Structure 1
Amino acid sequence: MHEADVADWLSSCTVRDARALLEGAERSYRHPYGFIVHRSALLELAPWNLRVHVWPSPLDCYEMLRRNGTEPQLIHAHGWDLLSVVMDGELEERAYELRIDHDGDYVRYSTSAKPGQKASLLHLSGEKLVMDAVEKRVRRYDMGAYSIPAGTYHSTLPAAQSISLVATRQFPGQVSEVAAFRTVRDHIENPSPSPSVDISLLEGEGDHVWSSFVFFVDAGRALLLRTTARPHQWHPVGGRRAAGDASPVDTLMREVYEEVGARLDPTMVKWMGARRADEGDGVVCFWKAEGDILSQSLEFPRDEIEETRWWDLAEVASLPMYGASVDALQGLLNSSGPSRSER
């Protein structure tokens, strides 16, 4: 079947069709990126293969990425053409322009399946990459089919619990690749995680109220700030969801740029979990970013910020902070020594 016909077929599918495909799936497994893949035995799209992707809630996905160690490896390029349509929910896709540069922060790996096991292997190519541009694209149920050609570097995260139909067409000799942030190893094994993840905090996520913060940690110090609205409290970089923020990680990217002028990518941060908000409804989401991601000489925007300061980790426990931040900080102190960039 031709690509345009496959796109039309996907666009004509209903949620009921997706459920029928789920029920008739020949194989299902958890992907290292957190979603569940249900492979269909349907042959009418040949040479395209069909599968259903079931995406967890954002916080659920972040937790599985953390457990898998796949957060730095989200940027990837398939060895096949991909057509997809979101049947329910919303996905956040980011498309990247990368080029080879010996000073780049990203390391290129080729991928291969591990025979007989539900795992993949990432093989170091020796090339470093620098990110020239990134474009965020929203994928929703009302937007029709879209394509991701083979070799296109991209990442995908859920903005809500979602279901997508995916058709793939393999090219002989085309290898899938991963651009991993500051990771240099001979090879990385990505086993499929357990499909059971218990995050009871998510039961109250229906109101979509959240705040997102990141602890920047470098050489045994953490960056904290005080705002003009709450000058007596120190907290990590971040803030509350704004109109247009699709997910907690979307809020984080925006807040970091607004408060410290830095362009972060989801591959640069590590999930620390979510806590109940000290005030009002919703949850507070925390990440950490380790190493020299931020320039020490940044000129921080001052409109809403009273003070920014790099504190020794030994000092921060005595600072006035909200309970959610204190709880997250304790986990950071328990796991962190002086941080070094992994080059």
Structure 2
Amino acid sequence: MYDTIYRAVTGEARDRAVPRWAADRLGEVAAGRGRVLAVRHPLGFLCLPLERAGERGVCVHVWSDHVPHAGATTSTTHAHSWDLLSYVLYGTLRNELVAVTDEPDGPTHRVCEIESGGDGDEIRRTSRLVRRGGSVTEVHRKGDVYGLPAGVFHETVPVGETATVALGLGRPGAVDLALGDLHTESHRTKRQLCDHDETVYVAGMVVMRLAGSGQRPPGVQPPDPAWGPASRPPRPREDPCGHSTR
């Protein structure tokens, strides 16, 4: 799947091919078919992991006020251990590329390493002290393609309802990083795995957005309003969604 979607995202027909592929795949999920379960990511989006094969992954990321969010235990300034290639299905994202310099004498943050497993994330305090400097803003809108190499510190901020197709290619030896405060201690967190009904809600919401008319495509059930903003608090569950910042 990775190679197929990579060619679609980088090809001249991407504005037809990528949304059509996303609508087809998520239409299956929204109709209750398949084994995909959405994950509440600590960086504020929901991840629909469609493929994870070794160092390659294909996901759909969804930022929405209509679903409960998870929260991070560090700052949201982070760096991937993998190269990102992303296509914006709808909405707008701001990527704040953050300058981070080693500064043991006047630090503002401590670098944490993040190792992810099947049941959550291990956040490890390191001895690396840094200063967070200014940032450069990149704005990505519907139909835009953008890349982000491993190791670049950044924050991703959605502007309204937004969804992307995200392709990740792991870098051997690289580690996921996040900026914690100076006193952050090592700790472990569990991801919040959505259940079947929540996953159907999210997938259906994206498919209807892609349809453009707000009409439900054939075979797709309407999202259950019970999973909107007033729903019960998210429950900690084990998470199959691999890398911590993917």
TM-score by length of 2: 0.65
Q: 2:41 aligns with which of 31, 39, 44?
A: 31
Larger Rg: 1
Q: What corresponds to 2:22 in structure 1?
A: 18
C-alpha deviation, 1:8, in angstroms: 1.1
CA contact (8 A) 1:21 1:52 kept: no
What CA distance in whole angstroms lies between the structure 2 residues aligned with 1:4 and 1:198? Answer: 32
Q: What corresponds to 1:189 in structure 2?
A: 188
Q: What corresponds to 2:63 in structure 1?
A: 55
1:85 aligns with 2:93: no
C-alpha deviation, 1:198, in angstroms: 5.0
What CA distance in whole angstroms lies between the structure 2 residues aligned with 1:154 and 1:6? Answer: 26
Look up the equivalent residue of 1:15 and give its one-letter code. P
Q: 1:74 aligns with which of 76, 94, 97?
A: 76
- Report SS of the residue matched to 1:174: coil
Q: CA RMSD in A?
A: 3.1
Specify whether residues 130 and 11 from structure 1 end up closer, same or farther in structure 2 by C-alpha distance, changes over 3 A only.
farther
Q: What corresponds to 1:112 in structure 2?
A: 115
Q: Compare relative contact order (CA 8 Å, sep 6+) and give the higher one, 1 or 2.
A: 2
- Report SS of the residue matched to 2:23: helix
CA contact (8 A) 2:6 2:167 kept: no
What CA distance in whole angstroms lies between the structure 2 residues aligned with 1:2 and 1:21? Answer: 13
C-alpha deviation, 1:3, in angstroms: 11
* Structure 1 residues 238-291: Cα deviation after superposition (integer angstroms, max 9, x where no partner): xxxxxxxxxxxxxxxxxxxxxxxxxxxxxxxxxxxxxxxxxxxxxxxxxxxxxx
Following superposition of structure 1 onto structure 2, how do residues 1-343 of structure 1 map, counting pairs within 5 Å? 1=3, 5=7, 7-9=9-11, 11-12=14-15, 13-22=17-26, 23=28, 26-27=35-36, 28-41=38-51, 48-57=56-65, 64=69, 68-70=71-73, 72-102=74-104, 103-114=106-117, 116-117=118-119, 119-142=120-143, 144-180=144-180, 182-193=181-192, 195=194, 199=229
Q: Percent identity?
A: 20
Look up the equivalent residue of 2:109 and give its one-letter code. Y
Which 5+ residue runs of structure 2 have no aligned equivalent? 199-226, 231-246
TM-score by length of 1: 0.48
What CA distance in whole angstroms lies between the structure 1 residues aligned with 2:52 and 2:173? Answer: 24
* Structure 1 residues 6-65: Cα deviation after superposition (integer angstroms, max 9, x where no partner): 64159343433212222357533121112111122398xx974211111113xx78x835
CA contact (8 A) 1:7 1:146 kept: no
Specify whether residues 160 and 99 from structure 1 end up closer, same or farther in structure 2 by C-alpha distance, changes over 3 A only.
same
What CA distance in whole angstroms lies between the structure 1 residues aligned with 2:5 and 2:89? Answer: 19
C-alpha deviation, 1:183, in angstroms: 4.4
Specify whether residues 78 and 26 from structure 1 end up closer, same or farther in structure 2 by C-alpha distance, changes over 3 A only.
farther
Look up the equivalent residue of 1:64 and give its one-letter code. H
- Report SS of the residue matched to 1:185: coil
C-alpha deviation, 1:2, in angstroms: 11
CA contact (8 A) 1:87 1:141 kept: yes
- Report SS of the residue matched to 2:160: coil
Look up the equivalent residue of 2:85 and give its one-letter code. L
